[in-house]
Structure 1
Amino acid sequence: MCHIAHLQHAMGGVHWMSSSRPAPLLTASPVRALIDEQINIEGCFLSPNCPVTVCAQMHSEDGDLWESFAHYVAKADGTISLTRDESVGGSYLGCEPMGLLWSLQPAPGGRLGLRLRKKNVETPYVVHMSLLEGHVSPSKSQSTWLAAVTAERWYMAPGVQRIEIRQDGLVGTLFLPPGQGQFSAMLDLWGLGGGLVEYRSALFASKGYASLSLAYVVHEDLPGPKKRVNIGDSYFKAAFQLFKIIIKSVPTELGSSGSALESYPRWRRVEDVECPLLYVLGEDDQSVPNKENADLVEVTLNAAGKSHLFTRLPYPGAGHLIEPPYAPNARRPLYKVEPNKLFAHFGGHHALHAAAQEDCWRKMLAFMESHLR
């Protein structure tokens, strides 16, 4: 019996045997994966053509419950596959292999304005998925629980090193890929929401890049008022120089990367850049005039004879914050609470935003592979 239990755990599913036929089984493969990796979610040993609901639930690091669900109809052989089959109702519609994850939203009755943002990249998101009888809404009704499986979603691959940087006034976190040798490198900067955001850098390092996530506003270790940018060009240049020292040597392939960092528009006019620029544009961005900004950059580079350096990635229906794949979209997150609550309008239609994130991440990695390796 212990051997059966171990086998079921290795398969990524939990179910019990009945005397007549195998009980329903829900599997996820692999059960441990990086956040940008697709997993295969399947159910089997169901009654032919029966309606079922697949539900996902997880808690954020702040303890808030997020959930999603989708309605499926089992095939004649008693199986469902999220990679093959279409959802006919619930949090999303159609064939969406990772829909259960990108459609996660705060559970009804929870706090308003939540945004799912990983703080501790050394731990995974733990997603509990269950298979329910019938087409139901898990939050509103009780249903027969048929099977369940748990999956781990990581931003940091095994072997990635995380190194805190507090030197010469710099505030950041360095992530180094597993193994020895020279790594292509990047400086990872976020927007004016501020703080020290690490999860994208951790994922970059998991893909083989040395990545330094750098804080420059809204951080307690930075000088001056917390909500004001009190550092100048020298701060970013110092970060780049320290970066080169830490990784000991910069490979020749980093020539374009060095130009990109030293020519960052914070301290140079955009027409002075000599490096390729990738501009990601969510066309349903309700927060900033994204399209107008992209047009201005493109016109300026065209006038300077540098149109070949500019690549625009427009995504109709995508909102402001285009994350790594399968992250839930927050259309109206809480931006600040003092002195009054302020909600941001990020926009984005969930399915279109999810498709944009998946496509953008693939093209961003290809762009880096082309110019940094």
Structure 2
Amino acid sequence: MAFQLIFPNHRAKSKLAEKRPVDSGEMSSQVRLRLLPSARCFFDEPIQVKVAGLRSRQVVTMRARLTDEKGVVFSSSATYRADGSGEIDLKRDPSLSGSYVGVEPMGLLWSMRADTLHKSFKENISFNPHVVKFSVHEGEGRMLAEAANERLLIGDGVSLLPIKEGNIQGVLFTPPGEGPFPAVLDLSSFPSEKRASLLANKGFVVLAVAVMTDKPDNVKEMHLDHFKEAVDFLQQHPKVGSKGVGVISRSKAADIALSLAAYVPGVEATVWINGCSANTVIPLYYRKRQILTPLPLDLSKLIPAESGAFIIKDSFQNPLAEENKGSLIPIEQAKGRFLFVASEDDLHFDTKAYMEEMVERLKRHGKDNFESVCYPRAGHLLEPPYVPYCPSSVHGFAQQPVLWGGEPSSHAAAEVHLWKKIQEFFRTHLSCDATQVS
């Protein structure tokens, strides 16, 4: 049966819609800062920021501030000029200077930077919202108005359940209702559940599993069987109606996702984001034998940058070199569909070249089970939209800060486009059969 039942979490939406726009005039009796359509929304939803009650053509500074679960403060600021009526609308008006310039409706969010170097935003997955404080100031001085934006990662009715079963260690997110729902295995290189919780809000049963659950130095081999257990777990879940499972991944996790698609039955749709076409760093085993050798990482080839971070891209060997061909993942034997996503300014992997090589290989084998998208001026860390852009942070394997690449505005636009594309891809290729749900 064609899948038609996957929609955003309307129950959560309706509750959010009941919230009224915030009006804050406490700092000044005239100035009002409004967040539309609501001051409470999901993390991946845009808002419209408007200011009224200013003097005609008045120049003000707008700021945003957010504290993550580690206590790191992220902030941004931008200078705006009011129109003749004393109003500013970020959807219409350009920032003149500051963290970004030009018309960027969500610029105050994605341009937020950490107050210390080499930090990425760390989310705490809970039912409590992350609060972004927006404010309007006279120049750099007196606050004229402020408003709080409550950004939720989990909607009403979505359940969160830690899973420790066999070799599976992860977190299961289940939408409200009986289903049937399509199933997605969200693989991250290191523990992270933000993307999984947001997909569950859209009507997917999602199991978030980290590829690395120990320090990389302690991991001498990796077993695909452990991730097959996660695929089987999802297929047997009573609310799952899709005949196969989707897999979403990025970076090191992306080569595990390709390996699942190539070797494990039941993987119907694989999203590969800024990964490698080969198995990287750690040998991969399946059914008690080694199936892929590791593509080496040579940390002596790290290139230092002015910020104190390093460029790691040249530290990976060429997977097409004769001595590394045992690490190439045989995706040509996969039965499911692929969505390949490459950022052209990825400073971690030569992602575009890897993607082009995989596309050519599939074509040579007479395959057309793929689509690809390339984002100019975007960096390695493509996330769900409206997360603070991260230029550099500590690399899990190198244990040094590395540059991720990307021009912030283009990177943010890529995240908005990709997030919609991921959902469309899974809805198209993970058909649901109501008879499979008990």
Shorter-chain TM-score bucket reads 0.7 to 0.9
Equivalent residues in 2 for 1:1-373 (5 A)? Answer: 10-16=20-26, 22-29=29-36, 30-107=38-115, 111-134=116-139, 136=140, 143-191=141-189, 194=190, 196-219=191-214, 227-228=218-219, 230-247=221-238, 249-252=240-243, 254=244, 258-260=266-268, 269-306=330-367, 308-335=368-395, 342-373=400-431
Contact (CA 8 Å) 2:154, 2:197: kept in 1 or not?
yes
Deviates more, 1:260-269 or 1:238-247: 260-269
For structure 2, the 5+ residue unaligned runs are 1-18, 248-265, 273-278, 287-328, 432-438
Partner of 2:161, secondary structure, is: strand
Partner of 2:339, secondary structure, is: strand
| Displacement after TM superposition at 1:227 (Å) | 4.4
Inter-CA distance 168–335: structure 2 relative to 1 (3 Å threshold): same
| Displacement after TM superposition at 1:157 (Å) | 1.2
Distance 2:188 2:179 in 1: 28
| Displacement after TM superposition at 1:364 (Å) | 1.4
Letter in 2 for 1:235: H
The CA deviation string for residues 209-237 of structure 1, in whole angstroms up to 9 with x for no partner, is: 011111232348xxxx7642644121111
Letter in 1 for 2:350: P
Distance 2:381 2:225 in 1: 28
Contact (CA 8 Å) 1:218, 1:228: kept in 2 or not?
no
Inter-CA distance 176–294: structure 2 relative to 1 (3 Å threshold): same
Inter-CA distance 120–241: structure 2 relative to 1 (3 Å threshold): same
The CA deviation string for residues 11-34 of structure 1, in whole angstroms up to 9 with x for no partner, is: 31221498xxx5101011211111
Contact (CA 8 Å) 2:183, 2:246: kept in 1 or not?
no
Letter in 2 for 1:99: G
Partner of 2:176, secondary structure, is: coil
Kindly indicate whether structure 1 or structure 2 has the higher relative contact order, using CA contacts under 8 Å at least 6 residues apart: 2
Q: 1:5 corresponds to which residue?
A: none
| Displacement after TM superposition at 1:197 (Å) | 1.3
Inter-CA distance 233–343: structure 2 relative to 1 (3 Å threshold): same
Distance 2:90 2:268 in 1: 41
Q: 2:311 corresponds to which residue?
A: none
Inter-CA distance 176–316: structure 2 relative to 1 (3 Å threshold): same
Inter-CA distance 15–206: structure 2 relative to 1 (3 Å threshold): same
Contact (CA 8 Å) 1:263, 1:273: kept in 2 or not?
no
Distance 1:99 1:155 in 2: 20
Aligned length: 341
| Displacement after TM superposition at 1:281 (Å) | 0.6
Distance 1:162 1:17 in 2: 39
| Displacement after TM superposition at 1:251 (Å) | 3.6
The alignment yields a C-alpha RMSD, in angstroms, of: 2.5
Contact (CA 8 Å) 2:181, 2:239: kept in 1 or not?
no
Distance 1:78 1:101 in 2: 23
Distance 2:145 2:117 in 1: 31
Deviates more, 1:144-153 or 1:227-236: 227-236
The structure where strand makes up a greater share of residues is 2
For structure 1, the 5+ residue unaligned runs are 1-8, 137-142
Letter in 1 for 2:179: G
Contact (CA 8 Å) 1:284, 1:348: kept in 2 or not?
yes
Contact (CA 8 Å) 1:103, 1:350: kept in 2 or not?
yes
Distance 1:280 1:263 in 2: 8
Distance 2:346 2:270 in 1: 28
Distance 1:233 1:88 in 2: 51
| Normalised TM-score (structure 2) | 0.73
| Displacement after TM superposition at 1:94 (Å) | 0.9
| Displacement after TM superposition at 1:244 (Å) | 2.1
